[in-house]
Amino acid sequence: MMIGTTDLTGIDKEIDSVLRSFIAVNSETGTAGEKNCEAFLTEYLASIPYFQKNKEHFGSYAVSEDPLQRAVCWGLVRGRGASTVVLIHHYDVVGIEDFKNLKEFAFQPDSLEKALKNISEELHPEAREDLLSGDYLFGRGSADMKAGGAIQLALLKRYSECKELEGNVLLLSLPDEENLSAGMRAAVDLLDELKEQHGLHYIYGFNSEPHQRKADGRGLLSEGSVGKILAFVYVRGFLSHVGKVFEGLNPVPLLSEIVADTELSPLFSDWVNGEAAPPPTWLNLQDRKETYDVSMPLGAGGCISILTLDSDPMHALKLLHTSAENSFEKVIDRMNRSYKEFCRRTGRNAETLPWKPLVMTYAELLDEAAMNCGEDFQKIYADERKAIEKRIKEGELDFIEGTYLMTELLLHSISDLSPRVILGFVPPYYPNVSNFLLKDLTSEQRLLADRVSRFSLEKYGVEYEKESYYTGISDLSYLSLKDSRGIQSELEKDTPLYGGAYSIPLEKIEALSMPCVNIGPWGKDFHKLTERVFKPDLYVQTPALLDYAIRLILQQEKS
């Protein structure tokens, strides 16, 4: 059983070679560079003798209707039996705007190191110390997450050389993780197809995103990944001239009140097993005026990111609904008090302003518009949605702007002009996943993280804590799911652009559900100029830990 004694001699040099070539490919997310990275990965897999002999065991899987024609690169090393572990990593990286005059070195670790040393006094003290130590590899994607990808690729090659491999190892290299996870959503379909074609039984999923160490030097093993909901709030006001402010209702202060009530609110943070989801934050705010005039805006919109551990979109929408109602009441009360004082100063009789709180979901607004417009509405609505989806696919619009346009279409289709707040969702949606949410785990699956931590402590003197969720958001979100039908129903109702330009194969995810863990190298300053990965983790410890975990699962599955 060769996988039980994997020879890792010299793998450090192979990882270094692969990683430097990997980083050198500028694969900024949402650009043609991702396609170049696909070519690099395909060439690498094709260079491995196993895949030269078994060409049906690797390839690229196109992301459906993708304007950049990106694809998932995959390689399957077959052994005995159906039991299969899945290795995933993403090959896109974030942009390099923060590199400024060092952009030419962003994808060249050695050159970047020299350039950073020339400005070392300008760096954060910790980054400067790490730079001068020589213990870190710098560069865009060095930590997030081409280091983890290089480790997985090097291990896959070693497994391909095993003459007697117990079980199977499937590697998925994914585009678009930093944006909409189009790669992983497509990979779910690929997993389903490979399962049928090769008779695979998926027993565990491994990601290798970088981790950040605790102050005491302990590493982290994450047995799941935080969920992410992007909710939108659209406020429809009542138009008036700025000289007649009490005749209208400005949507901007109402949206601002909702923002103030919800930004970093602990009420939205799930608490599970002593862990908490980071509280929500707003990612987008705008009024909907296109030109300047002396009228207040008619509409304003914003998007709030809500991270979850065990709650679903319906729960988040209920919390947001309560906040919007309370905020609406506060704004109306403040307006009435201001109006009363204005009337006192001007010798007028004050009357209560006519505004009443009205908060509704997108689905409720859609029903109102359909009832108001009659039988022609459905065609008008469908045609406009197709037109907006086409503009999104062509890169003319993003999902946020498209969602606002869909909401405004409905608001223009109703007869009631009362101010109101509309709530719903915008892509992307990431389900929360964690092994503790899965039933019927074997003892080996349940105790894997503990055993890996013990192995690391004994072999390297480095202890790893386990956590239920990786809070950096990752593609692990699409490896398991509960209540796919309920989530599907909610997304279809209150996500204006779900099902056309954006969808998730939720039922397939639930059917494929497998436990998972993130085992990745120690890194720092992800998405920053000083992004870096710890070399001993990169070359020695993480490859050994990941290999140990894979061997444990496959060996124990046999027993």
Q: What is the pLDDT of residue 2?
A: 37
Q: What is the pLDDT of residue 439?
A: 87
Alpha-carbon distance 365 to 381, whole Å?
A: 13
Largest Cα separation within the chain, whole Å, is 95
Residue 100 CB coordination number (10 Å): 8
Asked whether the beta carbons of 100 and 119 are under 8 A apart, the reply is no
Q: What is the pLDDT of residue 93?
A: 97
Alpha-carbon distance 50 to 337, whole Å?
A: 77
Helices 362-373 and 377-393 pack at an angle, to 10 degrees, of 130
The pair phi, psi for residue 203, each rounded to 5°, is -115, -15
Q: What is the pLDDT of residue 135?
A: 97
Asked whether the beta carbons of 443 and 382 are under 8 A apart, the reply is no
CB-based contacts of 413, cutoff 8 Å, min separation 6:
369, 372, 373, 377, 380
DSSP state letter for 77: E
CB-based contacts of 9, cutoff 8 Å, min separation 6:
none
What structural domains does the chain harbor? 2-225+432-438+468-479+516-558 (3.40.630.10), 227-425 (3.30.70.360)
Q: Bin 33: left if φ > 0, else alpha if -120 < ψ < 50, else beta.
A: alpha
Q: What is the pLDDT of residue 1?
A: 35
Alpha-carbon distance 293 to 304, whole Å?
A: 28
Alpha-carbon distance 324 to 259, whole Å?
A: 9
Distance of CA 22 to the CA centre of its chain: 22
Q: pLDDT tens for residues 522-531?
A: 999 999 999 9
Asked whether the beta carbons of 176 and 70 are under 8 A apart, the reply is yes
Q: How far apart are the first and last CA of the chain?
A: 12
Q: What is the pLDDT of residue 374?
A: 82
Alpha-carbon distance 235 to 407, whole Å?
A: 10
Query: In the chain, which stretches have pLDDT less than 70?
Result: 1-5, 557-559
Asked whether the beta carbons of 158 and 39 are under 8 A apart, the reply is no
Structure tokens at 162: 């095993």
